[in-house]
Amino acid sequence: MKFGLFDHVDRGAGTLQEFYENRLRIAEKYDKAGFYAYHTAEHHATTLGMASSPNVYMSAVAQRTKQLKFGPLVYCLPQYHPIRLFEEICMLDQMSGGRLQVGVGKGISSIESSYYGVDSTDVTAMYHEYYQIIIKAMTSEQLTFKGDYFSVENMPLEIKPAQTPYPPIWTGISSADTIAWPAENKINIISNRNSQAMRQITDAYRADWESLGRSLDDLPLMGMTRFLVIADTDDKAMGIGRRAYDVWYKSFMKLWWRHGTKPPLAAYAENFDGIIKSGLAIAGSAKTVANILEDQIKESGVNYFVARFVFGDVSYNEAAYSIDSFSEVCLLNQLKT
C-alpha cells in the first residue's frame, strides 16, 4: 500500500503570493513525511485551480522537495501543443532527477476548453492523437507523425526524459467500463468513487491485467481520493471540514453556476456532512480516521490511497496537523489491509 496526495490547488485565503508559498511549504512536509506522490489538477478561469500552468507549479515543487514524486492529474492534452508539452515533460523529469508522474486526460470541463478555442466535439479525438504523439516522441530519435490535428516530419529530438522509456502514466477513471485501455497500456489509475464503485473498478483492472498474461505482482497503482481532516477531536475535525469544504465547493461550482449548468459526472455533495455520508471524505481524530480508512481500503481493493489534506480555506497549521497525525498513524504503521 502506498499513500499519496491530491490537490486542486484551489484558492483559499490570503494573497496569491502567500497562497503559493503555503502550498510549497506543505509540499516540503509531504516530502519529509515520506508520501509517495503529489498529484495536482489543471483548471482554467476558475478559483478551483490556481496551478493552471502545471509545469510552472511543478518546477517549483521539484526545487522544494527531494524524494517526493509529483505531476498533474491530469494534463488536459487538447489545450496543449503536443511538441511543447513533450519538451517540458522531459525538462521536468530531468530537473527533478526522474520524479515526474504524467497524468493524461481530455479535461472534464467543456467550458474551460472553449476558452482555448477547442470544440467539445473534438476533445476526445485530440486527446488520443496528442497522447500518441507524446509517447512516440519519448521513444524515438526523430519524430514523424501525420494526424488530423497535428503533423510533423523528421523532427530531431534532442531531449529525453530521465525515466526510461518515459515517466509513469496516470489517468482518472470513473467506472469499470473504461478500464480496458489503462490495463492494456500499464497505466496507473485514480478515481473519486465510493468504496463499492472502487471495488468494481479494481476487480475489473485485476481481471483485465491477468487476462493479458501478467502477474498481479506487477500491477500498476489503483488509487482512490478522499478529503481528509484530522484534529485532536472528531468535532473539531468536522468543524474544519465544514468550513473549508464550503469554500472549496463554491470554487468547484463557480464556472458551472456562471454558465447556468452542472458538471458532468459530479459526485460531490453540497456540504461536508453530505460528502462524509457518501464516503468521499473522512474527518476525525487520528484514531477515528485510521479505522474508517482501513475499512475503506479493504472494501475498495485499492493499493494506493490519495489524501486531500488541503482544500478551501484549510490553513497551513490545520493541514500540518493532519499531515503529521496521518504520518504517525498511517504512514509509519502502513495500514494492514
Buried b (16+ CB within 10 A) or exposed e, 269-307: beebeebbeebbbbbbbbebbbebbeebbeebbbbbbbb
Q: Which pLDDT band holds residue 335 (cuts at 50, 70, 90)?
A: low
Tally of CB atoms within 10 A around 264? 10
The percent of residues above 70 in pLDDT, for the chain, comes to 97
Q: What is the pLDDT of residue 145?
A: 98
Q: Are 323 and 27 in contact (CB under 8 A)?
A: no
Does residue 199 surpass a pLDDT of 90?
yes
Overall average pLDDT of the 110-131 stretch: 92
Q: What is the pLDDT of residue 328?
A: 86
The pLDDT mean for the chain works out to 95
Q: What is the pLDDT of residue 337?
A: 42
Distances, alpha carbon 27 to alpha carbons 24, 61, 70, 270, in Å: 5, 7, 10, 28
Domain 2-73+173-331 is classified in which CATH homologous superfamily? Luciferase-like domain (3.20.20.30)
The grid cell for 13 is 485565503
How many CA atoms, within 13 angstroms, populate the side-chain half-sphere of residue 50? 19
Overall average pLDDT of the 325-334 stretch: 75
Q: What is the pLDDT of residue 336?
A: 46
pTM for the predicted model, two decimal places: 0.96
Overall average pLDDT of the 41-70 stretch: 97
Q: What is the pLDDT of residue 19?
A: 96
Does residue 265 surpass a pLDDT of 90?
no
